[in-house]
Chain A
Amino acid sequence: MNALNTQRPRIIRGRGALGGIAEGPAMISRQTITGWGGIDIRTGIVVEPGHPLEGLSIKESVLILDGSKGSNGWSIFFHAAQVSGCGPAALVFPKLDSRTAVTAAVLNVPTVTDLSADIFALVKPGDRLRVDGRAGTIERIG
């Protein structure tokens, strides 16, 4: 663990929106993904051209995005990826909108929202996280 990591708080708190505990590497971007067509539904790989996460898979990740954008067909692409066995392990949204809330309900995985800190400044891509959707915590575990 480097100096930067030791200075970052280990736990970020928010509202537990959907219960359960899950762990996974952080897939994090302030730039949200276009749901409709932005994800390969067979592999979970982000295919939105030019997106910071392009080429990476949401499979078994802790997916952290700042809202939704584009078509109302947002949840269905994450849902289809999950049916293919490539869904995320947990979801974190700093603030919910109707599309991200539906996505959480559809995927039915641990979800935390209404965060007390700027998660984009505190979590780096690939950080290993544990999300507790009942307690409303996101803990960095590696």
Chain B
Amino acid sequence: MLTLTEEEKQILDGRQGAVRQKALELIVRYGEVIAAERLCRVTWADLFCGAHGYLQVAETRDFDPLFSKMSLCSDETVSLAQMDQGCVCYSGVEADCSEVPAEMLMDADKQAHNRDLLNRFVDAGVILSGNCIPYLTGFIPAMGEHFVSCESSAVLFMNSLWGACGNGDGIEASFCAAVCGRTPAAGMHLPQNRFGTHQVEIAAAPRSVHDWDLLGYSIGSRLPAHSVPVIVGDFARPNTIQLKAFFAALACAAGTEMAHFVGMTPEAPTRAAAFGGRPASGNLRVGPREMVATLEALNPHPGQPIDYVTLGCPHYHIDELRKIAHFLAGRRFHAHTRVDIWTTGPMKYMADRAGYTATIEAAGGRVLTGSCPSTRGYPDGVRTVAYDSVKQRHSAEQETDAVKFYGSRQVCLASALSGRWEGGV
């Protein structure tokens, strides 16, 4: 039985306006479905703003009917003025890259529509973040604070490394939470649901971002639904950039919202604390054999010329751009291979100042911000693509008919230089 506070009852009655009322109606319905007993206060919301492809089904371009139907799930059109005043709102990944207009795939009409929609969100108080790594760009819910995010990897990252509380939810529920400042107190918002359920032993020695990326997918594709893994093993402590890849891979393969690294996760000072004193309901062991099998399954094709290399999923950290620039200095990509490197505005600003962008552009590549092939689509005529991210490789299965290759960043860069896939199968 869901109990509402007096203020929540006021919102639901419409006394704080029609938009907050519609938003809370969806949140209350969500709370009833998931059998929540109360709502919790949301103070950070990472959204998914702009003219994303799925909005085409609404057959309207106007902000208010579009937002009402697709985000508030309301057939009645209401007008958005402000997001909840107690909630910091980010706009999330964009429908196309932020470099307007020369690098965009969208036609001029769609670009204008996208800008119109984004401007309304800016007017409502949303920060144009333009990235899938909010946790690296100032979106910092602290331990015990409740957030929503449309990025599965960000939810897993912030639950697991910071002890902040968030669920996967969905795009509509995130918008509604940001408008009314509430979400059901369920799932990862409740301490008792955050304990580990399965022990996962890493029987390997992961050292690189690629190792952790591959491990995340190898674990995720073997993990039961709804589990909270506790990662154990005799491995070197991963850094935040390696964990960015690991969490993205794990979330995309298994839908995992929370994982414990003993000694790193705030709620896991010990293995026993991670499990909340309860026994593990399952054990998994992942080592080199599983990792090789995963790599082989993702690379079913023999090597061939590479048309397109897309790097930066999740969006690259400045240190990743630095490493690429350092490697590339003086080298040049193959004339027939297009190279896009994805990051976010603040990282590109730093890369511009340090000269990394110029080095990458001198090699024939591009540093793009805000988007990725999953949200903007692929350039025309691309028949073969190389990825350094298992998440991007995984998503591409439904997004392009091109022949796909997956390997480390080094392998992808080497392939971009030679124009042929340089990885093993």
Binding site for B on A (CB under 8 A): 15, 17-18, 32, 34, 36-38, 41-42, 47-49, 66-77, 79-81, 83-84, 95-99, 101-106, 108, 111, 113
B300 to chain A, nearest CB (A): 12
Which of A76, A79, A99 is close to B168, meaning CB atoms less than 8 Å apart?
Answer: A99
Instruction: Tell me the count of chain B residues lying within 8 A, CB to CB, of chain A.
Output: 43
Binding site for A on B (CB under 8 A): 26, 29-30, 32-35, 48, 54, 57-58, 69-70, 73, 149-152, 155, 167-174, 186-188, 225-226, 252-255, 257, 374, 394-395, 397-399
B184 to chain A, nearest CB (A): 8
Given contacts A68-B168, A98-B186, 8 further A-B contacts (CB under 8 A): A32-B225, A68-B255, A76-B172, A80-B54, A98-B187, A108-B29, A111-B33, A113-B33
Does A106 lie within 8 Å of B398, measured CB to CB? no
29 pairs, CB–CB < 8 Å, chain A vs chain B: A15-B35, A17-B32, A18-B29, A48-B398, A67-B255, A69-B253, A70-B152, A72-B149, A75-B170, A75-B171, A75-B173, A76-B70, A76-B170, A79-B73, A84-B57, A98-B167, A98-B169, A98-B186, A98-B187, A99-B168, A102-B170, A102-B173, A105-B29, A105-B32, A105-B33, A105-B173, A106-B173, A108-B29, A113-B33
Return chain B residues, CB-CB under 8 Å to A113: 33
Complex formed: what's the CA distance from A37 to B35 in Å? 29
Question: Contacts A71-B252, A101-B33, A105-B33 known; A77 to B54 CB distance under 8 Å?
Answer: yes
Does B187 lie within 8 Å of A72, measured CB to CB? no
Complex formed: what's the CA distance from A5 to B29 in Å? 36
Complex formed: what's the CA distance from A75 to B73 in Å? 11
Shortest 9 CB-CB contacts between residues of A and residues of B:
A37-B398, A75-B170, A98-B167, A102-B170, A105-B30, A67-B225, A101-B34, A105-B29, A80-B54
